[in-house]
């Protein structure tokens, strides 16, 4: 299935975009940008499955995901599960965080 998925380099139709902060094990505050794209059908998929574009952007690098589901709601639900799992064990997680301005 993974060969059928687009290799994302951007999200052209975002439905949600936010910065979250969290505290590392060393007590340092970090920021992550999370962007969720509108679910779309997987091109050429014989089963009619969908994927949801997801970006989890750390300061040094972006991580793009094409999260699969059997329909648009399932793909979106699976993308949100990745977001939830990624922050479940972190401390002091805060949505709507304001990252420091980059000069």
pLDDT at 3: 58
**CB of 56 within 8 A of CB of 34?**
yes
Distances (CA, A) of 40 to 19, 24, 81, 84: 24, 34, 18, 21
Sign of CA dihedral 95, 100, 32, 13: positive
pLDDT at 33: 92
Taking the CB of residue 46, how many other CB atoms lie within 10 A of it?
7
pLDDT at 1: 44
Helix locations, 1-103, DSSP H: 72-87
As a residue count, the chain comes to 103
Q: What are phi and psi of 81, to 5 degrees?
A: -65, -40
pLDDT at 12: 93
pLDDT in tens, the chain (103 residues): 445 678 898 999 999 999 999 988 888 898 999 999 999 999 888 899 999 999 999 877 889 999 999 999 999 999 999 999 888 777 888 888 887 775 5
pLDDT at 98: 84
pLDDT at 102: 57
């Amino acid at each position: 299935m993974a060969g059928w998925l687009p290799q994302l380099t951007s999200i052209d139709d975002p439905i949600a975009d936010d910065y979250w902060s969290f505290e590392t094990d060393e007590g340092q505050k970090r920021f992550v940008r999370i962007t969720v794209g509108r679910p779309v059908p997987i091109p050429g998929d014989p089963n009619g499955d969908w994927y949801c574009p997801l970006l989890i952007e750390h300061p040094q690098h972006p991580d793009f995901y094409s999260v699969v589901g059997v329909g648009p709601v399932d793909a979106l639900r699976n993308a949100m599960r990745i977001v939830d799992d990624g922050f479940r064990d972190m401390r002091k997680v805060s949505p709507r965080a304001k990252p420091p301005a980059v000069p």
